[in-house]
């Protein structure tokens, strides 16, 4: 068994943040076993501690930010990626600004300096997310796909497709964390020349410079576009017809963008708080989908699992109208994943429709509502005197037919709960494809009164 690790002695880093352009100082300090990775903002009157965990993610726009009590730390992914690759479990990161230094845009300086400072093995054993069943994630609004498959060790395959000159589709596999330093750590953050104007408009990337980011030209960039951006930046850019980057930035790897995407993905998934054993496959994912995927891994590997009899002790629904068979995952108070085996003997198929059985869309929605009832009731007292009624359907969409033989998976997230009314967002899937989705509200009421 592997032991947990921390660093042997304090290490500091200084430099400007990518988005804020402000100088920040980091001091890394050893922490005792089972502490995890914790950031501490030391520049405010009462220091705030923010654990590097998915539940503390507050933004995924152009980088991953974590926060607590309105105190935030932006762009944590490069440092976290290096820590994950170094297999550091416990660490205090003191920071005196809202963003760690971007350094050279990669994680190489973090990785090397921390390694050179020495690591200390601790007494406690490491705990892992060991993947035993494949987990798939699809972003409904894009063609992003993420999946993780059982494997003996941690590995990542990434496929990217950027419309940059001479870049296009790229694919890279990191076979083992032992190859991280050589294959991944030097890959720098990047953007397209066109993106610079958007970033400036959003007041982002203020610290972005040609020393810490690769700026790519696209096939369609005309001399006119480029001179507009030069005007905007107030400086001249060096390029010629053969360049695909500005100012003669030489790539560190011919496929540097896809490798940096792996660097980011590792940093984002490190927010699970435990290392993963499994093979990750990403198609075009970014910070938002990486974080959502991390949450799904956490839900699927939680001990939030209940059989039908246990479900019946929590929610009042009974056969033939009990439309969930099993709770297969979730996070108490936050999300639930339920399963329903759709079978020929389900009573509604008799009439919906004779010889052409299709599960009614409203019953898919009802099964989501029952899963949400379980999630809510699992968290409140006296549920034997209560029930939950669907009160509003804000939106719903039925995308594919559900028929006998299908295994219906219902994933419902609690958006917020106020005065006994919960706002929920659910998706229903068969064979990893979304068949329905809905945003609805349900209200907890007393059983006999209303």
Q: Catalytic residue at 281?
A: no
Residues that bind Zn ion (CB under 5 A): 189, 264
b/e for 372-400, b at 16 or more Cβ within 10 A? bbbbbbbeeeebeebbbebeeeeebebee
Q: Which of 19, 78, 260, 287 is catalytic?
A: 287
CB of residue 72 to Zn ion, shortest distance in Å = 17
Answer whether 311's CB lies under 8 Å from 322's CB: yes
Number of Cβ within 10 Å of residue 320's Cβ equals 9
CB of residue 261 to Zn ion, shortest distance in Å = 8
Q: Catalytic residue at 260?
A: no
Q: Which is nearer to Zn ion, 114 or 327 (CB)?
A: 114
Q: Which is nearer to Zn ion, 111 or 374 (CB)?
A: 111
Q: Which is nearer to Zn ion, 189 or 301 (CB)?
A: 189
Task: Give CA separation, 352 vs 183, 349, 355, 394, in Å.
Answer: 56, 5, 9, 25
CB of residue 60 to Zn ion, shortest distance in Å = 12
The token pair at 425 is 């967002």
**3-class state of residue 309 by DSSP:** helix
H or E stretch at 80: helix 77-85
Q: Which is nearer to Zn ion, 105 or 278 (CB)?
A: 105
Residue with tokens 């304090």: 10
Answer whether 446's CB lies under 8 Å from 386's CB: yes
CB of residue 257 to Zn ion, shortest distance in Å = 10
Q: Which is nearer to Zn ion, 172 or 239 (CB)?
A: 172
- Closest residue by beta carbon to Zn ion: 264
What is the spatial distance between Cα 339 and Cα 138, in angstroms, rounded to a whole number? 18
b/e for 305-318, b at 16 or more Cβ within 10 A? ebeeeebeebbbbe
**3-class state of residue 300 by DSSP:** helix
CB of residue 438 to Zn ion, shortest distance in Å = 34
- Any idea which residues carry the catalytic annotation? 287, 352
């Amino acid at each position: 068994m592997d032991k947990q690790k921390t660093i042997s002695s304090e290490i500091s880093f200084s430099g400007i943040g990518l988005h804020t352009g402000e100088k920040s100082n980091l001091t890394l300090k050893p922490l005792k076993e089972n502490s995890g990775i914790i950031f501490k903002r030391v520049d405010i009157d009462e220091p705030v501690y923010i654990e590097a965990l998915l539940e503390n993610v507050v933004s995924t726009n152009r980088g991953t930010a974590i926060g607590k009590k309105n105190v935030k730390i932006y762009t944590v992914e490069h440092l976290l990626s290096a820590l994950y690759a170094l297999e550091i479990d416990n660490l205090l990161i003191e920071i005196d600004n809202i963003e760690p230094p971007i350094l050279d845009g990669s994680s190489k300086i973090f990785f090397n300096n921390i390694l050179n400072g020495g690591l200390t093995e601790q007494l406690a054993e490491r705990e892992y997310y060991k993947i035993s069943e494949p987990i798939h994630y699809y972003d409904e609004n894009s063609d992003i796909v993420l999946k993780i498959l059982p494997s003996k060790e941690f590995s990542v395959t990434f496929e990217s497709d950027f419309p940059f000159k001479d870049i296009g589709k790229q694919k890279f596999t990191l076979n083992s964390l032992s190859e991280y330093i050589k294959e991944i750590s030097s890959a720098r953050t990047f953007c397209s020349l066109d993106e610079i104007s958007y970033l400036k408009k959003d007041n982002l990337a203020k610290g972005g410079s040609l020393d810490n980011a690769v700026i790519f030209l696209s096939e369609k960039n005309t001399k006119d576009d480029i001179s507009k951006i030069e005007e905007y930046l107030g400086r001249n850019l060096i390029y010629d017809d053969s360049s695909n980057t500005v100012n003669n930035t030489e790539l560190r790897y011919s496929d540097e963008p896809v490798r940096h995407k792996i660097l980011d993905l590792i940093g984002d998934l490190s927010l699970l708080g435990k290392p993963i054993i499994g093979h990750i496959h990403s198609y075009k994912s970014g910070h938002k989908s990486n974080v959502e995927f991390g949450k799904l891994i956490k839900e699927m590997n939680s001990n939030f699992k209940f059989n039908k009899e246990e479900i019946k002790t929590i929610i009042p629904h009974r056969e033939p109208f009990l439309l969930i068979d099993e709770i297969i995952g979730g996070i108490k108070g936050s999300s639930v994943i339920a399963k329903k085996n759709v079978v020929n003997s389900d009573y509604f198929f008799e009439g919906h429709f004779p010889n052409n059985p299709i599960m009614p869309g409203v019953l898919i929605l009802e099964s989501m509502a029952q899963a949400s009832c379980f999630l809510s009731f699992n968290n409140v007292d006296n549920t034997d005197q209560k029930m939950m009624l669907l009160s509003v359907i804000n939106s719903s969409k039925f995308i594919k037919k559900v028929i006998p033989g299908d295994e219906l998976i219902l994933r419902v997230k609690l958006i917020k709960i106020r005065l006994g009314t919960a706002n929920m967002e659910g998706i229903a899937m068969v064979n990893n494809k979304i068949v329905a989705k809905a945003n609805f509200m349900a209200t907890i009421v007393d059983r006999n009164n209303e």
